[in-house]
Chains A and B, each alone.
Chain A
Amino acid sequence: KIQHILCTGDLCIKEMHDYLKGICSDLHIVKGEFDESNYPETKVLTVGSFKIGICHGHQVIPWGDIESLAMLQRQLDVDILVSGHVTSQVAGEKDKERKQCKVLKYEDRLLVNPGSATGAYNGITHDVKPSFVLLDIAELKVDAYVYELVDGDVKVEKVDEFVRKQ
């Protein structure tokens, strides 16, 4: 059973908020680009021994940039940063080998971008596949599962095992 929902925003209408609340009452939302509701710009919460931060991501420039996201992560002092706006995180031009990704272990923290749960139009990405990330949080480690809807099939990938440094 889902115990928390972390939403990076752009729910846009009350009905979407209510829908998520129906799935899990512990719902954490931050303000997206097109939300008119009074959600905060960032949110920090603790689950188990992990501090998690949420931010829509349009505030972090360049959008989706790993170094810039890491800066916000240090600022919020969180082990895991969940962000959106773009559909995956991307390293700067300097490192061509780092592909776009939804879950990334960076230095000693975890960067997560669950993508769009609805596959909605995105200003940057064409052909968005609906996706979300499931975090299985244990005492000292977190397993991340990326769920993606591709051509009508649900694909699940266990992406990373993130272990907390003591």
Chain B
Amino acid sequence: TVKVHKDDLTKVDLVLNGCAKVLGGRTEELNPKATKELVVLLSAPLAEYDVVSILSLNAYPDVMALLKDDVRKDMAVTIIKSVINSGTILSSVAQVDMLFEFIMQLITDGDEGENKEEDPDDEDFQEQQNLVGRLIMYLHSDDLDVMFKILYTIRRHFGTGGPKRLKYTLPPTIFAALRLVRKVQAAGDQSTISIKKVFQFLHQTVQVLPANDCPPETTVRLLLQCALAANECKLEDILYAFFESAFTIYEEEVSDSREQVSALQLFIGTMHQCTCFGADNRDALIHKCTVYTSRLLKKPDQCRAAYICSHLFWGKEEDAQDGDKVLLCLKRALKVANAAQQVAAAARGSDGGSSALFVEILNKYLFFLDAGNTKVLPPIEQLMDLIQNEIDNLESTSEGNMEAFYKATIRHIQQQKASEEGSKYEGINV
């Protein structure tokens, strides 16, 4: 029928309908040969038509329902791959709904919980869920109102997936919503939907993740992405709310020390990008950052987090730049570096690599000198003396990296002195 009546999908649907009716009444399971025939039957239209057309075949899901679960899943995977490979875009809520009907086997645990047996560590399962995630890119409408409805539809379907699936399916959904935010932003007054409602959708969607097996680090990262978007829209309250949620998750659930270091880098980096904070909110969040920094497990990590905090006091705009606070921050970092050195010395009788921290902090001072903060000159001099001292007293060659780093730093200063920026560096003797 597909070949003979190419333009008439209703005839194809008739065939499928007939098949479903005849086989649907049977109670015994299909034998492998029959299953193979059914798969061939279902694949034929896929080869001939685009997926949007296939979706109009109302009897298609009925025939799919005849198949065993794992064969149904394979069929669903074939359909998704067909969308992705052909680049077909589904742009209406009805189409999206229908598609999810077709691929239901991958989306939920099933009416009788057949899929509950699925092993989330199984590679096939993960591949399938990744495919479902990628499918989101093809569910899109340029009409903002429709796009928002599509997002709600997707969210509703994914909601039936349970903890095994949500951590694969919600992050792509969240990024789709972030893309929508950009479009709404660009539309400005012409937009038919409220940007705050999209942020509401975002916040609600992310909040579901912690209770559904999503690693807390990932939830924090998603919240910070939302924060960046809110900052661009200059929505300070929404921005603050995202940060608050992120800090809550960090405090309550991020316990691995490596993950804490990484998360704090993202908090600090994101905050540095956020220019729409008022002074009070800004101070409150900076305070949180510095507190969490001091609670990191290892002293070198504390030191590094402390010196990148200095950037929080030197924002993009001049009125967000406080040279004194930068100095205080770096001074605190130096203190921790000293402590780290002592801890390492006591533990192993050797430096353990913590003298490199002094060179790192020196480089930070140089950053601010370059940015126009002249108050850093005295500490720079002292630090350079200290470092030179350390190098002169080096016993083992394990600190070779530190010496190379320091030499490179000196070369940097020399090159800057010789450049048009040279006057800033006059105060340093090399």
A residues within 8 Å of B by Cβ?
Answer: 13-15, 33-34, 36, 58-59, 61-63, 67-68, 70-71, 74-75, 77, 92-94, 107-108, 121, 123-124, 126
Contact B221 A63 (CB under 8 A): no
CB-defined contacts of A71 to chain B, threshold 8 Å: 360, 363-364, 367
Contact B228 A61 (CB under 8 A): no
**B408 at the binding interface (Cβ < 8 Å):** yes
Closest to B419 in A: A107
Most chain-B Cβ atoms within 10 A of its Cβ — which of A63, A67, A77?
A: A67
**B388 at the binding interface (Cβ < 8 Å):** no
Report the minimum CB–CB distance from A152 to chain B (whole Å): 13
Q: How far is the CA of A123 from the CA of B273 in the complex (A)?
A: 10
Known contacts A94-B371, A94-B372, A62 near B228 by CB under 8 Å: no
Known contacts A94-B370, A108-B411, A75 near B127 by CB under 8 Å: no
Q: How far is the CA of A68 from the CA of B304 in the complex (A)?
A: 13
Report the minimum CB–CB distance from A98 to chain B (whole Å): 12
Known contacts A61-B265, A70-B412, A107-B415, A15 near B371 by CB under 8 Å: no
CB-defined contacts of A77 to chain B, threshold 8 Å: 401, 404-405, 408
Q: How far is the CA of A47 from the CA of B409 in the complex (A)?
A: 24
B residues within 8 Å of A by Cβ?
Answer: 123, 126-127, 130, 133, 171, 175, 178-179, 182, 215, 218, 221, 224-225, 228-229, 262, 265-266, 268-270, 272-273, 308, 311, 316, 356, 359-360, 363-364, 366-367, 370-372, 401, 404-405, 408-409, 411-412, 415-416
Known contacts A33-B266, A61-B308, A124-B273, A68 near B367 by CB under 8 Å: yes
Main secondary structure of the interface of B (DSSP, over half): helix
Main secondary structure of the interface of A (DSSP, over half): loop
Known contacts A61-B308, A77-B401, A123-B225, A93 near B316 by CB under 8 Å: yes
B179, B356, B372, B405: the one within 8 Å of A121 (CB) = B179
Contact A34 B269 (CB under 8 A): no
Q: How far is the CA of A33 from the CA of B267 in the complex (A)?
A: 12
Contact A58 B266 (CB under 8 A): yes
A61, A92, A121, A126: the one within 8 Å of B175 (CB) = A121
CB-defined contacts of B262 to chain A, threshold 8 Å: 59
Q: How far is the CA of A33 from the CA of B215 in the complex (A)?
A: 13
B126, B171, B215, B411: the one within 8 Å of A14 (CB) = B126
CB-defined contacts of B182 to chain A, threshold 8 Å: 126
Q: How far is the CA of A59 from the CA of B360 in the complex (A)?
A: 14
Contact A123 B228 (CB under 8 A): yes
CB-defined contacts of B366 to chain A, threshold 8 Å: 67
Contact A92 B371 (CB under 8 A): yes
Contact A13 B130 (CB under 8 A): yes
Q: How far is the CA of A71 from the CA of B365 in the complex (A)?
A: 11
Q: How far is the CA of A61 from the CA of B409 in the complex (A)?
A: 18
Report the minimum CB–CB distance from A161 to chain B (whole Å): 19
Contact B409 A74 (CB under 8 A): yes
Q: How far is the CA of A63 from the CA of B273 in the complex (A)?
A: 8
Report the minimum CB–CB distance from B105 to chain A (whole Å): 20
Report the minimum CB–CB distance from B317 to chain A (whole Å): 8
CB-defined contacts of A34 to chain B, threshold 8 Å: 171, 218, 221
Q: How far is the CA of A14 from the CA of B408 in the complex (A)?
A: 38
- Given contacts A33-B266, A92-B371, A108-B415, could you give 14 more A-B pairs where the C-beta distance is less than 8 Å? A14-B126, A34-B171, A61-B268, A63-B269, A67-B366, A67-B367, A74-B363, A74-B412, A75-B363, A77-B405, A107-B412, A107-B415, A107-B416, A123-B270
